[in-house]
Amino acid sequence: MPPDARRITARAARLVTHGEPLTIDEVELPEPSPGELIVDMAFGGVNPVDRYGALGRVAVDGPLPRTLGSEGSGFVDGDRHVIVRGHGLGSMRDGLWATHAVVPADALIDIPTGVRLEAAAALGIAGVTAWRTVTELARVTTDDRVLVLGASGGVGSMIVSIVHRIGATVWGQTGDAAKVPFVAARGAEHVAVTSGQDGEMASFVAELAELRPTVVFDPLGGPFFGAAVEAMAPRGRLVAFGTSADSSGLVPLQALYRKSLRVIGYGGLMESDAAIAAGIEDALRALGDERLEVCVDSLVPLADVNDAFARLVDRSVRGKLVLDLRG
């Protein structure tokens, strides 16, 4: 590191105005404060929360302009491989979608030998959500029959892989028939295709009668939640962790209570940085010994960051998008 760190510049994806495309600018890094250091960034995970920040739906009080990016991977001192995340990065201070970033030392998590940097960057919050919902909340065992809604997404595809490796029966759901082979390749024995439109849910429930799931993972909400309740076996567990289809919907309450179902909510944004860091360490170990699979759809050049946001909107992503921050 040069004696005067303030002279280091970085190429970064900058949010200037909420709702407007990000710009790629050269920025001068501040001198690290005590407890901070400079990371040479390699890859950045692209998450819906980053897009919400760009739109002003979250972190509306964050400084402008600022560099976005809440999680990524890179190097410290040339050879220490790390995940970087949390501590207000990308929301309340400059984030990680840059060639270099000044970050708190506590934001670093060491990456085990053998785990690729791009996979580590894609793990982050998605990996923690997948690992904890399966192993801590639902406590899936080999005896379970599992339905994963939104199975082609970043979290859903990881959940399918974890459940498959546990040895439970797992089915997936996707709204796009073209994604069926992708979900099946993660370990799903059957993939149901439905987009949740009116008239589709009754046939979806009927299709699930063959599985009669004991566990459902739901990041969608809307009509899917009620359909899952209708289809589930008695004393089943439904883990809800998102509402990407709709934040409201009708719930068949008689089926819910007559089957003695348990509904478990998981909100990762409520967790402390320490809890998320511990979850990432667990997920990294699972990734390293192949109990979890991370699927990187594609590496997107930093200059094309707005195209990455567009792909989140049009739901064309299989697994996770990762920004290539090198150079």
The whole-angstrom separation of Cα 149 and Cα 134 is: 13
In a domain, 281, yes or no: no
In a domain, 274, yes or no: no
In a domain, 119, yes or no: no
Reduce the DSSP state of residue 27 to 3 states and report it. Answer: strand
Output the average pLDDT for the chain: 94
In a domain, 196, yes or no: yes
In a domain, 247, yes or no: yes
**Would the pLDDT of 1 be above 60?**
no
The per-residue pLDDT for 91 is 95
Q: Beta 80-85 vs 215-218: how paired, if at all?
A: unpaired
In a domain, 83, yes or no: yes
pLDDT band at 6 (very low <50, low <70, confident <90, very high): very low
Average pLDDT over residues 304-325: 94
pLDDT band at 5 (very low <50, low <70, confident <90, very high): very low
Same domain, 87 and 152: no
**Would the pLDDT of 157 be above 70?**
yes
The per-residue pLDDT for 78 is 82
Q: Which residue has the higher pLDDT, 168 or 199?
A: 168
Same domain, 133 and 41: no
Average pLDDT over residues 149-157: 95
Q: Which residue has the higher pLDDT, 4 or 313?
A: 313
CB 107 within 8 A of CB 86: yes
In a domain, 199, yes or no: yes
Same domain, 81 and 146: no
Residue 40, judged by CB atoms within 10 A of its CB (0-12, 13-18, 19+), counts as middle
The per-residue pLDDT for 282 is 94
Average pLDDT over residues 90-101: 97
Domain span at 197: 125-268
pLDDT band at 36 (very low <50, low <70, confident <90, very high): very high
pLDDT band at 225 (very low <50, low <70, confident <90, very high): very high
Same domain, 70 and 95: yes
Percentage of the chain lying above the pLDDT 90 cut: 86
The whole-angstrom separation of Cα 125 and Cα 211 is: 29
**Would the pLDDT of 4 be above 60?**
no
Same domain, 182 and 53: no
**Would the pLDDT of 184 be above 50?**
yes
Same domain, 85 and 24: yes
The per-residue pLDDT for 8 is 87
DSSP string for residues in 240-308: E---SSBS-----HHHHHHTT-EEEE--GGGS-HHHHHHHHHHHHHHHHTTSS---EEEEEEGGGHHHH
Largest CA distance in the chain: 69
**267: its two tokens:** 């909100």
Same domain, 103 and 144: no
Reduce the DSSP state of residue 232 to 3 states and report it. Answer: coil
Q: For residue 138, which of 238, 64, 210, 27 has the smallest C-alpha distance?
A: 238
Least confident of 5-9, 51-55, 206-210, 219-223: 5-9
**Would the pLDDT of 60 be above 50?**
yes
Same domain, 240 and 302: no
The per-residue pLDDT for 57 is 93
β-bridge mates for residue 299, sequence order: 322
Cα end-to-end span (Å), the chain:
17
Residue partners of 18: CB distance under 8 A and separation at least 6: 54, 55, 56, 60, 64
Same domain, 129 and 253: yes
**Would the pLDDT of 102 be above 60?**
yes
**Could you report the per-residue pLDDT of 267-299, keeping only the tens digit for each?**
987 888 888 889 999 999 999 999 999 999 999
Same domain, 165 and 58: no
CATH number at residue 141: 3.90.180.10
Q: For residue 51, which of 12, 10, 97, 113 has the smallest C-alpha distance?
A: 97
Residue partners of 55: CB distance under 8 A and separation at least 6: 18, 19
Same domain, 136 and 223: yes
Same domain, 129 and 203: yes
Q: How many domains does the chain have?
A: 2
In a domain, 277, yes or no: no
**Would the pLDDT of 186 be above 80?**
yes
**Would the pLDDT of 327 be above 70?**
no
CB 241 within 8 A of CB 158: no
Percentage of the chain lying above the pLDDT 70 cut: 98
